[in-house]
Amino acid sequence: MSRRRPSSTGREAPALATLLPGAQMRTLGPQDFAAWRQLRNEVISGLAHPDMYMREDDEAAFFAQHLPPRGHCLGVWLGDELAAYAMLDLPEAGAPGHLGAAIGLAPREQAGVAHLASCMVRAPWRGNQLQALLLQLRYAMAQACHRPRCLAMVSLHNAASRHNLLAQGMWIEWTGTIDGLRRHVLQIDLRGAPRWDLSQTRLIAGDDFAQLCAAAAEGYAGVEEVCGGARPVLRYARRLPACGSPSAGDGAEDAP
């Protein structure tokens, strides 16, 4: 039994005016640092668990890193208020903190990676699908920058972000420790959707760190959330061979 995950990249992103009437979107620049930091202060102070997002030691440097040419930062504005932002990082292969190294990508593969970095939405504007819209737009930006493999790091405590990323076509490629923190690394390859072998899957609690690490080490990926609530459960499956490989059994198109 197999199933191809539906690719979210084939859907047109909803218009911002439909999701949040009166809002405008533009890329952020150095002049927007104060508004960006104010939004982050508000969101981070309201997190249910301190591990959900660890603030960077040098926020000014982090912000500058996500401006051209190294990256991009999209902002959703309601008048003078920054309601949401989302960052895209274009790291150099082999650079410190490159998430491709965590999942075992060779340097030549790391060159095609974009990081889906920090994304935050102010509390009054949540529930308007802004995170989904900003994710779709970053997919498009990554493709335009010839970075078809997108990676995102998420805390095991941040079940909401993990749920949203899985819903937009990503899968959990790896779980482990990064800088002493327990983290997932999620992935999507915008060149095509993978197929998963659902004949033998594992159901793992979203906070069972040992089992999540073990599943990834054995070649399983987290492909969907099957039970939400206070303790979400994740379905893990193995990827089927790509079309054209010696063991491929049909003519379906797959990601390279």
pLDDT for position 213: 98
7 vs 203 pLDDT, higher one: 203
Residue 13 pLDDT more than 90? no
Which residues of the chain form CATH 3.40.630.30?
14-191
Residues 142, 84: Cα–Cα separation, whole Å: 19
10 vs 82 pLDDT, higher one: 82
pLDDT for position 234: 97
Residues 122, 114: Cα–Cα separation, whole Å: 25
**pLDDT more than 90, % of the chain:** 84
Residue 243 pLDDT more than 70? no
Residue 246 pLDDT more than 70? no
User: Predicted confidence band at 113 (pLDDT cuts at 50, 70, 90)?
Assistant: very high
pLDDT tens-digit map of 176-216: 999 999 999 999 999 998 999 999 999 999 999 999 999 99
pLDDT tens-digit map of 23-54: 999 999 999 999 999 999 999 999 999 999 99
Whose tokens are 């994740």? That residue is 234
Residues 42, 51: Cα–Cα separation, whole Å: 16
Residue 208 makes CB contacts below 8 A (sequence gap 6+) with: none
Could you please report the per-residue DSSP string of 69-97? Answer: TTEEEEEEEETTEEEEEEEEE-PPTT-TT
CA-angle at 89, arms to 171 and 184, nearest 5°: 30
Classify 14-191 by CATH class.
Answer: alpha beta
244, 253 contact by CB (below 8 A) = no
186, 138 contact by CB (below 8 A) = no
Q: Are strands 113-121 and 149-155 parallel, antiparallel or unpaired?
A: parallel
Residue 244 pLDDT more than 70? no
Residue 118: alpha-carbon gap to chain centroid: 9
pLDDT for position 124: 95
Residue 2 pLDDT more than 80? no
Residues 77, 135: Cα–Cα separation, whole Å: 17
9, 139 contact by CB (below 8 A) = yes
Residue 247 pLDDT more than 60? no
User: Predicted confidence band at 241 (pLDDT cuts at 50, 70, 90)?
Assistant: confident
User: What is the pTM for the complete model shown?
Assistant: 0.89
pLDDT for position 3: 57
Residues 206, 164: Cα–Cα separation, whole Å: 14
Residues 175, 69: Cα–Cα separation, whole Å: 30
